[in-house]
Structure 1
Amino acid sequence: MDIFVYGTLTEPERVASVVDAFVFVGAAVLEGCHPVAGRYPTLAPGGETAGRLLRTDDVGALDAYEGVDEGLYVRLSAPRTDGGVAAVYVGDPDALNVEDAVDWPGTGPFTERVRRYFEAESVVVRPEHS
Structure 2
Amino acid sequence: MTGTGLGIGEVARRTGLSIDALRFYEREGLLVGPVDRDAGGRRRYRPLDVEWLGICVRLRESGMPLADLRRFAGLVRQGPGNEAERLRLLDAHRRRVDEQIRALEECRSLIAWKTAVYADHLARGEATGLWDPTA
**TM-score higher than 0.5:** no
Rg larger in structure: 2
Q: Considering Cα pairs closer than 8 Å and 6+ residues apart, tell me whether 1 or 2 has the greater RCO.
A: 1
User: What is the TM-score of this pair, normalised by structure 2?
Assistant: 0.25
Structure number having the greater helix percentage = 2
Structure number having the greater strand percentage = 1
